[in-house]
Structure 1
């Protein structure tokens, strides 16, 4: 039975903070899953896609008792023990992938047949801690009280995705996005040239000065799009069916989440033009 999960907001200005009324836990770079064992074991994405058949190892090795529903993240770790999003996506797309998955539970929705969503977060964490014993396929998210700034700085230094700050009094709000849970992303920031644009849909091609390193579609405002388009017309070099290439002379500040294995920027977002 599917339960639509509680969603989170970005922290104001993407800044961490210290508060004794919040816990801090690592934002895991994986796929959000709901694992429900009230009738039989069912595994859902947050969009209510039943993916139970994709992960037989999670069904066969489930450590929770019947009547329990967990919320968490499916991850695949790399050789350094860090979550790797590309690897988990490869495994998600094909059972033939050799990547070993693990489910990291950070909340509990039902326990032994009863809903626990009305209980405050710290009580739910206590229930979760006793709900199952970790095994090689299941683990519980580690959290600390407060220390959001320090935890975030460590996450950024280790090139992890970021942290989530959660109000210790927060109830589990099914199918709602709540400011009681706030994510802070450990973006990388750099300057890149605009080397072209897409014509069939919005997207600016980014270059590091040597080669194309991605297509930026995020956070480009209407004014920037309009100003950019006017200038781009004067810089045209060549074009294909869906792409116009321009002289790479305009630079912009871009924040992103690192590089893919193909050396492309992951989720690049526009910050500003460089003048």
Structure 2
């Protein structure tokens, strides 16, 4: 049984409040674990069945249950999750590859909420009552864990998140019920990284600016596409300037002389040297 997950609003920055608990944000993908009449199914936030991809998570609890959390590949040495590793797991289709990844890239289900238990719908209970139920569950194996939280001290937790290089944190109102939509009762604060890039072109169809950085040998290497961030004013200024610095084009892109520099915020650098989820913040004059 799939339940549409509760989604996070975005907080303007770190905050502390006595009416909130704060959790580290795990860098994986959302997972709904459903055990009904002893049958276990795993679902993504978009209701895609991903049970095959994570055989180590097909272990039963003591009774029927529906849980919400993140599935992640966690580095045992640092405790930090690796988004690229879990995406490799998620995209694997062949049985032999899934079994190999089970050994080399083990997945962990990190639980932060319980939605049903022993046939009882818990979503109308306040969050702290659901947390109490969750804390008393016997986990079925070492591939399961529960997200820790602290009460009130969001600013202090975020400083630790930054020091550890984690994705961010989530603040949740203690009395919040579980609703299957985006809600201000749960707010995320992302631990952004920042970089300076050259804008070397733009997409002809949908909005997108090509980016590059120096490679250390006097050349530029591509770092991906900015798809979010600039407002109408920035876009107008950009396209006004680009007319005089066009180098060429192909079917999809207009290419520019690397004269425009910008600051972007991003989740992190990928292992292949690309910006992960870059957002334009400002032009650098």
**Matched ranges for 1:176-255 at <5 A:** 176-209=181-214, 210-255=220-265
Mapped partners of 1:161, 1:57: distance in 2? 24
Q: Which of 142, 158, 183 matches 1:136?
A: 142
**Matched ranges for 1:103-182 at <5 A:** 103-133=109-139, 135-173=141-179, 175-182=180-187
Mapped partners of 1:53, 1:133: distance in 2? 20
Q: State the superposition RMSD in angstroms.
A: 1.4
**Matched ranges for 1:79-118 at <5 A:** 79-94=77-92, 95=98, 96-97=100-101, 98-118=104-124
The corresponding residue for 2:10 is 10
For structure 2, the residue ranges without an aligned partner over 5 or more in a row are 93-97, 215-219
Mapped partners of 2:201, 2:162: distance in 1? 31
Regions of 4+ moved over 6 Å: none
Q: Which of 20, 23, 26 matches 2:24?
A: 26
Mapped partners of 1:65, 1:110: distance in 2? 13
C-alpha contact (below 8 Å) 1:37/1:65 kept by paired residues: no
- The CA deviation at 1:43 is 0.8
For structure 1, the residue ranges without an aligned partner over 5 or more in a row are none
- The CA deviation at 1:211 is 1.8
Mapped partners of 2:124, 2:251: distance in 1? 55
The corresponding residue for 1:48 is 47
C-alpha contact (below 8 Å) 1:33/1:72 kept by paired residues: yes
**Secondary structure of residue in 1 paired with 2:269:** coil
The corresponding residue for 1:35 is 33
- The CA deviation at 1:219 is 1.7
C-alpha contact (below 8 Å) 1:199/1:243 kept by paired residues: yes
CA offset digits 1:132-161 (Å, max 9, x no partner): 236321111111111101111111122110
TM-score normalised by structure 2 residue count: 0.90
C-alpha contact (below 8 Å) 1:134/1:140 kept by paired residues: no
CA offset digits 1:98-136 (Å, max 9, x no partner): 311010000000011101111111111010011223632
